[in-house]
Amino acid sequence: MHSHPNHRVRMVHVNVGSPAGAYSVGSTAFFRYIVRLSDVGLDLRPADAAAIDILSAIPNAFVDEDEYSGNGWRIVPAATFEDWPVLEATPERLRNALETARRVLWENAQPVGITAREISLIDDEIENVLAVLARAEAAGFSVNVTYVS
């Protein structure tokens, strides 16, 4: 059985946190189908593309990101060598991106090639992240997001 070139398995942890709590997503499927959803090549409605653009901006700890921003988010570059760049976002903006990504994924499960088991796993991870976002929003905090592979 040959694996699809886009399905290289590597551990990726997507970390979402604020002073109100944090969660680390360890699912490769979440990374592949949610964080990198813009890379799949789907023909998205402009509003959906705008909603999920924040996800492709999540910085990798080993990449130097210049500061740039979008609606409700910005990249904060690493301050020191021990530090790494983070995506700072409002919980509302990130929630909207995740909910849109989930809907787009459900609507395009066939062309994307995701399995039912992966969708279920991603749903659980999104619920865990949404809980962190709800706590941050209630406390008035922004959230930071990074990933390490």
Q: Percent helix, strand, coil in the chain (nearest 5)?
A: 50, 20, 35
What pLDDT sits at residue 79? 83
Strand 73-76, strand 21-25: pairing: unpaired
Q: pLDDT tens, 80-116?
A: 888 888 999 999 999 999 999 999 999 999 989 999 9
Q: Is the pLDDT of residue 27 over 50?
A: yes
Largest CA distance in the chain: 49
Tell me the CA distances in angstroms from 78 to 9, 35, 71, one per residue in order. 27, 20, 21
Three-state DSSP at 60 gives: strand
Count of CB atoms situated within 10 Å of the CB of 18: 19
- Of residues 74 and 80, the one with the higher pLDDT is 74
| Mean pLDDT for the stretch of residues 19-47 | 93
**DSSP state, 33?**
I
Task: Work out the pLDDT band at 10, boundaries 50, 70, 90.
Answer: low
What value does the mean pLDDT of the chain take? Answer: 89
Q: What is the pTM of this model?
A: 0.88
What is the pLDDT at residue 55?
A: 94
